Amino acid sequence: MLALAGGVGGARLAHGLARELPSGELAVVVNTGDDFEHLGLAISPDLDTVMYTLAGLADRARGWGRADESWHFMQALRDLGGDDWFNLGDRDLALHVLRGERLRQGQSLETVTADIGIRMGVQVPVAPMSSHPVRTRIQTDAGELAFQDYFVRLHCEPAVRGIRYVGAAEAQPSALLTECLAPGNLAALIVCPSNPWLSIGPMLAMPALDAWLQQPERPPVVAVSPIIAGAAVKGPAARIMADLGLPVSVIGVSEFYGDRVDGWVIDHADAALAPVLRGQGKAVYLTDALMRDEPDRARLAAEVIAFARSLARHG
Ligand code: FO1
């Protein structure tokens, strides 16, 4: 199975899927639209969040960055008048320094990611959507912003008027993604509960993935709703939906994903919306969609896997 994942929510379901599927049966492809150069470092936040989470190194509360972190670098940076709006923990820093050095030596982002994953003890194949740069840019009333400027420096405050995925149309899919999309290789594709516009959108904008999704005959695609009872579990998804004039519910997300998704996993709190989704021809699975802890991640993952397999059997 292929899981498409972005930030924290995606990483958590990917962790559950990794616990429920033998490693040969799962691949995780991650958004790189949030990547940026900062202080001379090559930073890939979603790749790092997924890898730290799969390796059991992620900070539980924050969701991003590492647990047991210290912040001496940030304090010294601040004392020297450096840009301190993007927090880089001392242990996390090593990863960004190493990745930047290897990219400068000419290694691809996919190769660097695979090597680092092995060193971290990540058991599941994880790759970027592409080794070619894709950058999510946020159009606001105050002009167009680079992703991290919107998300972190400005705390998602500017109203979103549009989103561009610069480079996605030209980006060559990673080898792992290409392998997953090859005929007969995939039992199902899982769209993790990441931000649809910020984390999944950049991947859907890649022609290779879009073409695969548009095939009349293809393995089932199951999406786990990132919106529960009209609110995002984490992050700005609900705000963005309101800014874009979409219904702030799984219906709004379903409008964005359209026919790419065959089955929706939604929370019991949204049971009233199930008939609307079924009216759109979607299969719907109702459950407790919130992942509070690791057992929750495994439970939800097991339900998603069974749901996807049921769609594969019944077409
Ligand atoms: N998110 C924040 O809200 N504030 C930060 O200072 C911050 C630092 C950071 C450092 C490394 C990393 O991998 C992620 C970090 N994030 C931070 C999260 C990141 O901006 C988001 O996780 C993604 O870009 C969107 O999912």
Q: pLDDT tens across 67-99, in order?
A: 999 999 999 999 999 999 999 999 999 999 999
Phi then psi for residue 189, to 5 deg, are -115, 130
| Closest-lying ligand 1 atom to the alpha carbon of residue 199 | 26
Residue 278 lies in domain? 2-314
User: pTM to 2 decimals?
Assistant: 0.97
Partners of 2 in the beta sheet?
27, 189
User: To test ligand 1's pocket by mutation, which of 152, 157, 198, 200 has the most ligand atoms within 8 angstroms of CB?
Assistant: 152
Q: From the CA of 277, how far away is ligand 1's center (Å)?
A: 33
Q: pLDDT tens across 162-173, in order?
A: 999 999 999 999
Give the pLDDT band of residue 17 (cuts 50, 70, 90): very high
Longest dimension (CA), the chain: 62
Give the pLDDT band of residue 187 (cuts 50, 70, 90): very high
Q: pLDDT tens across 217-253, in order?
A: 999 999 999 999 999 988 899 999 999 999 999 999 9
Number of structural domains, the chain?
A: 1
Q: Which two tokens stand for residue 143?
A: 């002009």
DSSP letter assigned to residue 124: S
Instruction: Let me know: does 254 contact 195? Beta carbons within 8 Å.
Output: no
Q: From the CA of 7, how far away is ligand 1's center (Å)?
A: 9
Partners of 126 in the beta sheet?
28
Q: What is the mean pLDDT of the chain?
A: 96
Neighbours of 300 (CB within 10 A): 23
State the CATH number of the domain containing residue 84.
3.40.50.10680
Query: Which pLDDT value is given to residue 315?
Result: 61
Neighbours of 115 (CB within 10 A): 14
Q: From the CA of 45, how far away is ligand 1's center (Å)?
A: 6
Q: Which two tokens stand for residue 164?
A: 């561009």
Bridge-based pairing of strands 135-140 and 143-146 is antiparallel
Q: Which of 60-64, 199-203, 220-224, 248-252 has the lowest mean pLDDT?
A: 60-64
